[in-house]
Amino acid sequence: MGDLLKDKVIFLTGGSMGIGLECARKYLEEGARVVIAANDEESLHQAASALRIRMDDCMFCDVTNAATVQWAIEKTILRYGKINVVHNNAGIAHPAKTLHDTADHEWDLLFDVNVKSILLTTRFAIGSLKKTKGCIINTSSLVGEIGQEDHAAYAATKGAVNALTRSMALDYAPYGVRVNAVAPAGVWTDMLRKWAASLDDPQAMASYLDQIHPLGYCPQGDVIGDACVFLASDKASFITGSVMPVSGGAELGYRSMKRKTEIQ
């Protein structure tokens, strides 16, 4: 247990599973109070049990709905008196389609969950963040910079998250509020494992996910949590507008298969 985040109150969307759950775990280990907002009742109960936190700190919240986001943030402030960090982690990646095959409702849902949710949390939390000189962390993705086959709409939302992060950083810097993002490549989550297991050749997918990271393996969500702890802490007090790759070097370019063979 550490104290990097002692006495900080963190409002975390999409924190009941996957990367969000690992971030919540890391935040708690560093002394923060964490309020999780998600729209899946079962996973909220599981998160409360796994993290050993009160169910009152696991709020059912549709991040695309202004009224429920306002309610969750106001309830957090009423309980703890402040918010130091808003971590916008909630996100979806489906459908896996080319752009012309993407239906209007699929496009709208992607942008509502991945982008509009940032608008809503900021709208209702910025007053408290100004008082605490807090920070905002957005979970982006490497595909927001490099693109992804059959995920044009998803990649577009993450490109929007990156642009928002930089523009928000400029808007809120005069108030001492920092805004940064983390950009993973592949990350093993329960959802990814289930999807990989459903494929004809799960091992081939596992090998592919290892190979896209120059450090040689696809990580667990805890590495993203470690980066977010740093960005949420006073150790990052002079960092804003950054989209931080947490990707094992996946953004650095293609590697020679010959060199890969030699290393092995």
Q: Which of 154, 172, 175, 217 is catalytic?
A: 154
Q: What is the pLDDT of residue 27?
A: 98
Q: Which tens digit of pLDDT belongs to each residue from 114-148?
A: 999 999 999 999 999 999 999 999 999 999 998 88
- What is the rounded distance in angstroms from the CA atom of residue 79 to the CA atom of residue 63? 20
Domains of the chain: 9-187+219-250 (3.40.50.720)
Is the pLDDT confidence value at 259 over 90? no
Q: Which tens digit of pLDDT belongs to each residue from 69-85?
A: 999 999 999 999 999 99
CB 178 within 8 A of CB 170: no
> 79-95: string of b/e by CB count within 10 Å (b at 16+)?
ebeebbbbbbbbbebeb
Known active-site residue 27: no
Closest CA to 225 of 7, 42, 51, 41: 51
Whether the model pTM is above 0.85: yes
